[in-house]
Amino acid sequence: TNRAAKVVQNGADNASDVEQTGGDLVYSAGADVNQQGNDNSSLVTQTGDSLSAGVDQQGNDNQSNILQTRRGGSAFVDQYGNFGKSDIQQIGENNDVGNTNAAGVQQLSGSLRESSLIIQGGRLNSAKVTQGGTDDVSEIRQNVGYLPDNPSTSNSATVTQSGSSNV
> How confident is the model over 25-54, as a mean pLDDT?
83
- pLDDT higher than 70, residue 16: yes
Number of Cβ within 10 Å of residue 161's Cβ equals 20
Instruction: Tell me the C-alpha distance between 119 and 134, whole Å.
Output: 23
Q: Quick: pLDDT tens for 40-67.
A: 999 988 887 778 888 898 889 999 998 8
Q: Quick: pLDDT tens for 107-137.
A: 776 667 777 887 777 777 778 777 777 778 8
Give the number of C-alpha atoms closer than 13 A to the C-alpha of residue 114, restricted to the C-beta side: 35
Q: Which runs of E-coded beta strand occur in the chain? A: 6-10, 15-20, 32-36, 41-46, 56-58, 63-68, 78-82, 85-90, 106-112, 115-120, 128-134, 137-142, 158-164
pTM: 0.77
Reported as a pLDDT band with limits 50, 70 and 90, residue 101 is very low
Q: Average pLDDT of the chain? A: 77
Reported as a pLDDT band with limits 50, 70 and 90, residue 103 is very low
Choice between 136 and 36, residue whose per-residue pLDDT is larger: 36
- pLDDT higher than 80, residue 76: yes
